[in-house]
Chains A and B, each alone.
Chain A
Amino acid sequence: MIGSRPSDSSARGIRIPRRTFLRGALSGVAVGIGLPILEAMLNRGGTAHADGTALPRRLGIFFWGNGVHPDRWRPTTIGPDWMPGEQLVPLAPLKSRVTVVTGMNNPAPEGDGHGSGAAALLTGWGFKTISATPKNLAPTQESIDQVAAKKIGTTTAFKSLELRITRRVHKSEGLLYGYVSFSGPSAPNEPEGDPVNLYNRIFADFKPSPGTPPPVDATVALRKSVLDAVLADIQSLRGRVGASDRARLEQHFEGIRAIETRLEQMKPSGMAPPMSCIPPSMPAPFSDTGPQEQLAARMKVMSELLAMALACDRTRVFTIQFTGSVAVTVYPIPGFSTHQHQLSHEEPGNQPLMHQSILYTMKEFGTLVSALDAHSEATGGTLLDTCAVLATSDCAEGRSHIQTDYPILIAGGARGKLRMGIHHRSNGESTNKVLFSLLNAVGCNLTEFGEKSAIRDISVTSGLSAIEI
Chain B
Amino acid sequence: MRTSSMQVPRCLHGALIRAVLVMVALGSCTGVIKEPPGRGPSGGGAGPSSSSPPPTMFVPAPATLRRLTSTQYRNTLKQLFGDSIAIPALEPDIIVSGYSSVGASTLAISPRRTEQYETDALAVARDAMSRDEIRRVIVPCTPAGVTDEVCVEKFLVQFGRRVFRRPLAADEIARYGMVASTASEALGDFWRGLEYAISGLLQSPQFLYRREMGTADGRYASGRRLDGYELASRLSFFLWDSTPDDRLLDAAGAGSLGSPTGLRAEAERLLAAQAGRDGLLRFYDELFALAGLEDLVQLPSIYRLRSDTLGASLRSEALRVFEDAVFGQERDIRELVDGRRTFVNAEIARLYGVPAPPGGGFGPVDLPESSHRAGILTQGAFLALQAHSTSTSPTRRGKFIRERLLCQTIPPPPSNVVTALPPDGAGGPRTMRQKLEAHRENAVCASCHSVMDPIGLGLENFDAIGVWRTMDAGQVIDASGDLDGVPFSDARGLARAVREHQSTVPCLVRNLFRFAGGHMETAGEEPVITALVDGFAAGGYRVRGLVLALIDSPAFLYSGDSP
Residues of chain A touching chain B, judged by Cβ–Cβ distance below 8 Å, are 109-113, 130-136, 158-159, 162, 167-168, 171-172, 174-175, 178, 183-184, 186-190, 192, 201, 218-219, 221-223, 225-227, 229-230, 232-234, 236-237, 240-245, 247-252, 254-256, 258-259, 289, 291, 328, 330, 337-339, 342, 345-349, 399-403
Contacts and interface: CB of A to CB of B under 8 A. Distances in A.
B206 A233 contact: yes
B97 A167 contact: no
Contact of B389 (A136, A174, A342): A342
Interface stretch (B18-26, B242-250, B257-265, B402-410): B402-410
Contact of A254 (B95, B111, B118): B111
B538 to A, nearest CB: 27
Interface residues of B, number: 80
A237 B63 CA distance: 14
B170 interface: no
B96 A187 contact: no
A131 B213 contact: no
B422 interface: yes
Interface centre among B95, B115, B297, B404 (most CB of A within 10 A): B297
B417 interface: yes
28 contacts: A109-B415, A112-B412, A112-B413, A132-B411, A133-B34, A133-B36, A133-B403, A134-B98, A134-B404, A162-B110, A187-B107, A187-B109, A201-B115, A223-B118, A229-B179, A230-B204, A233-B172, A242-B63, A242-B64, A247-B108, A248-B109, A251-B109, A256-B114, A259-B115, A291-B299, A338-B388, A339-B297, A400-B415
B204 A188 contact: no
B176 A229 contact: yes
A77 to B, nearest CB: 28
Contacts of B63: 241-242
B65 A130 contact: no
A252 B205 contact: yes
A233 B110 contact: no
A189 B112 contact: yes
A346 B203 contact: no
A131 B209 CA distance: 24
B421 A346 contact: yes
A258 to B, nearest CB: 5
B268 interface: no
A338 B420 contact: no
B403 A259 contact: no
A190 B108 contact: no
A29 to B, nearest CB: 19
Interface in B5-36: 34, 36
B341 to A, nearest CB: 28
Dominant secondary structure of chain A at its interface with chain B: mixed
Interface stretch (B42-50, B180-188, B376-384): B180-188
A198 to B, nearest CB: 10
A240 B211 contact: yes
Contact of A132 (B34, B62, B205): B34
Contacts of A342: 388-389
A255 B176 contact: no
A233 B205 contact: yes
Contacts of A346: 419-421
Contact of B563 (A159, A243, A255): A243
Interface string B80-93: 00000000000110
Nearest to A137: B412
A403 B296 CA distance: 31
Interface string B281-317: 0000000010000011111011000001000000000
Contacts of A183: 108, 110
Contacts of A112: 412-415
B329 interface: no
A225 B418 CA distance: 59
